[in-house]
Structure 1
Amino acid sequence: MVFELLQQQVSRDTEAPLHCREITLSFSPDCRQVVLSRYSEHYGPALVRWIERSHTVSVSELFRWLVANGETAVRCHEEPARHAV
């Protein structure tokens, strides 16, 4: 499976536990869906906790939404036709 790591963050305050976060974007195995996953880990003196959330949308629905709601840009180009000699 191909995925793109969108964000990876590790933070720690002096009094807070270690917090690791990762956001990835991937395709489902059949490439019909796009999956946005958010993974988070918390490391503390008493426990380790992790959670993963995934949001899935079909590629065709994503394109329909993009055409209906996305910003439209139109580019045109013209040049005179060349005549054979």
Structure 2
Amino acid sequence: MDEALFERALTLLTPAPQSGDRVLLVTVPTGTPPESHQLVVRITGLNAGHYVGEVVETDVIEPPAQPGKYRPGEEVIFLREHVQGRVG
């Protein structure tokens, strides 16, 4: 992933992210040992107070056959608290 992309992503989130926005997420650490990931996600909607989006870019470099890893084009559901900033 492009480090400059993440530096530009950290803009204030006012107003709240909307459908169509591209945002930078940091996922909650999971697994053993715990892993967190950075994702660029295009928001596609809201569902019961959660954002729904499509992964555009990810820092995950493991083979896509591994379960539980994020891949471009995959749908993700996340909370507002995981959004770190908008991506221009």
Q: TM-score, normalised by structure 1?
A: 0.28
Please tell me whether Structure 1 or Structure 2 has the larger radius of gyration of its CA atoms: 1
Q: Which has the higher contact order (CA 8 A, sep 6+)?
A: 2
> 1 or 2, which has the higher strand percentage?
1
Q: TM-score, normalised by structure 2?
A: 0.27
